[in-house]
Structure 1
Amino acid sequence: MSEDAVKAMKQQVGIAAAQRVQSGSIVGLGTGSTTAFAIEHLGDRLKSGDLKDIKGIPTSFQASVLAKKYGIPLVTLDDVEKIDIAIDGADEVDPNKVLIKGGGAAHTREKIVDSLADVFIVVVDSTKLVETLGSTFPLPVEVLPVAVSPVTRALEALGGKPELRMGVKKDGPVITDQGNMILDVTFGSIPNPAEFEKTLNNIPGVLDNGLFVGLADVVLVGEIKEGQPIVREL
């Protein structure tokens, strides 16, 4: 599939999600390339007057920068009682709408925001759909820097192959917005995500991991049909 086709899929699915936001909403703004199209379209709707009085809660520095660029007013979790709707991408989605997230190293904040939303909409292109979680994408685990070695050993004991995520165009490891490090752990498959999420988070030094269980309400999937991008709901 061409880069243009993938971009068209992401754009259509981002727009479809942004269309579901109503005036007066508090909106969780996710991280990543597909969600970026949703943030852009929310800005367009505000500019045209089609949408009024929304406030965004960003899940990352990237989401915050994009929201400011497109004129979406921002608030923090301290300022709101609840979040009406959150829009976010995913790296893998299984048939039960369980997700692996964290390719952008923002999953800890994303999980907080997405879990508080009345409706959490996941936006993906069709390449992100899998039968079994962990089959195409490693599971990101956010770790306190002081605990990288013991957590690595604990993850290996659980059958994982952890690798410290390294920066691109930067020497050294990726540092999250919270100042921590990411271990990308290959498990091959994760048959019981709900139990596994708890097991991983009980390892001392682990802040959170990229398994999102029971959080996704709606999954919008961008596909190419007969050369045209379409969006379907999972």
Structure 2
Amino acid sequence: MRTMAIPYPHFLGSEKPAMEAGLLGPPPSPPSSSAASLPPPVAALTQDNLKRIAAYKAVDYVQSGMVVGLGTGSTACHAVDRIADLLRQGKLSGIVGIPTSTQTHQQALSLGIPLSDLDSHPSLDLAIDGADEVDPYLNLVKGRGGSLLREKMVEGACKKFVVIVDESKLVKHLGGSGLAMPVEIVPFCWKFTAERLRLLFEDAGCAAKLRTFSETGEPFVTDNKNYIVDLYFKKDIGDLKAASDAILRLAGVVEHGMFIDMATTVIVAGKLGVKVLNK
């Protein structure tokens, strides 16, 4: 894996994505001769600022005429906004977007991005999406937003998959954040399926919980009319491919949120700059 670090002054000087996003002001003026003068305070970048910076950097990979997979979630939405901005400015043209969810479809449609689907475009030039976890080998956990099946279909059909995250998403191993690893399942006898998932990873201290709406307690329903069971681990689950195979062998499971050996580039925005990780 190759790593390229880009400190913000150089990064912003080449494309100035954060300035265009209204995140950073212009470079400070040279200090005056007054000994009493102090530099103005610099506002700390928020997590959403970092997501936007990473998203804008990812859109640098988009070229006119490309078929582009459009991801889902709070990070990917910034990339969709950026693509729409560049289309309006005439800096991009001939883009066809393949959305990974109803939410992204509606966003892109409202912004005027031409859309299609995998039936019409079975091979994509590029996909851009966020991730919930990234391990040192660029394996991912995705789908905490509930769109993991369509994301995996679209992003599995692209020649280059660019992932955009802030540095809080980096983990030593998948499941290491202690947050959810989603599994999409059919609604029929969901308790039976959830228990079988838990037993698969009992040695890793797994808890399996149906995703519900906190206000009503009703199950979260995916775009495909399925449920999601979120798995939580206390220990490393070990061999990811073996874990993937075991999950997918269970009747009632539709797909899981481990994206193994799929990302080609991960762009990580942190407090000190942007890192570009390549396989």
TM range, normalised to the smaller chain? over 0.9
Q: What residue is the counterpart of 2:211 in the other structure?
A: 165
Q: What residue is the counterpart of 2:140 in the other structure?
A: 99
- Structure 2: runs of 5 or more not aligned: 1-42
Alignment partner for residue 187 of structure 1, among 233, 237, 240? 233
For the Cα contact (< 8 Å) 2:45–2:271, is it kept in 1? no
Q: How does 1:13-32 map to 2 (within 5 A)?
A: 13-32=54-73
Deviations 1:10-49 (A, max 9, x none): 1110111112101110000000111111000000110011
TM-score, normalised by the number of residues in structure 2: 0.79
TM-aligned CA deviation for residue 81 of structure 1: 3.4
Cα separation, 1, equivalents of 2:44 and 2:253: 36
Q: What residue is the counterpart of 1:147 in the other structure?
A: 189
Task: Give the SS at the match of 2:159.
Answer: strand
TM-aligned CA deviation for residue 157 of structure 1: 1.4
Q: What residue is the counterpart of 1:65 in the other structure?
A: 106
Q: What amino acid does structure 1 have at the position aligned with 2:261?
A: G
Aligned length: 229
TM-aligned CA deviation for residue 190 of structure 1: 2.4
TM-score, normalised by the number of residues in structure 1: 0.94
Structure-2 change in CA distance of 1:81 and 1:109 (3 Å):
closer
Task: Give the SS at the match of 2:193.
Answer: helix
Cα separation, 2, equivalents of 1:190 and 1:66: 36
Deviations 1:161-206 (A, max 9, x none): 1000012445401000000000001123222111111110110000
TM-aligned CA deviation for residue 145 of structure 1: 0.1
Q: What amino acid does structure 2 have at the position aligned with 1:192?
A: D
Deviations 1:54-104 (A, max 9, x none): 000000111111111221111011111311100011100000000011110
Q: How does 1:1-234 map to 2 (within 5 A)?
A: 5-136=46-177, 137-158=179-200, 159=202, 160-188=206-234, 189-225=236-272, 230-234=273-277
Q: What amino acid does structure 1 have at the position aligned with 2:275?
A: R
Q: What amino acid does structure 1 have at the position aligned with 2:265?
A: V
Task: Give the SS at the match of 2:224.
Answer: coil
Q: What amino acid does structure 1 have at the position aligned with 2:221?
A: I
Structure-2 change in CA distance of 1:16 and 1:146 (3 Å):
same
Cα separation, 1, equivalents of 2:57 and 2:214: 31
**Which structure 1 residue ranges, 4+ long, deviate > 6 Å from structure 2?**
none
Task: Give the SS at the match of 1:66.
Answer: helix
For the Cα contact (< 8 Å) 1:151–1:205, is it kept in 2? yes
For the Cα contact (< 8 Å) 2:50–2:270, is it kept in 1? yes
- Structure 1: runs of 5 or more not aligned: none
For the Cα contact (< 8 Å) 1:88–1:122, is it kept in 2? yes
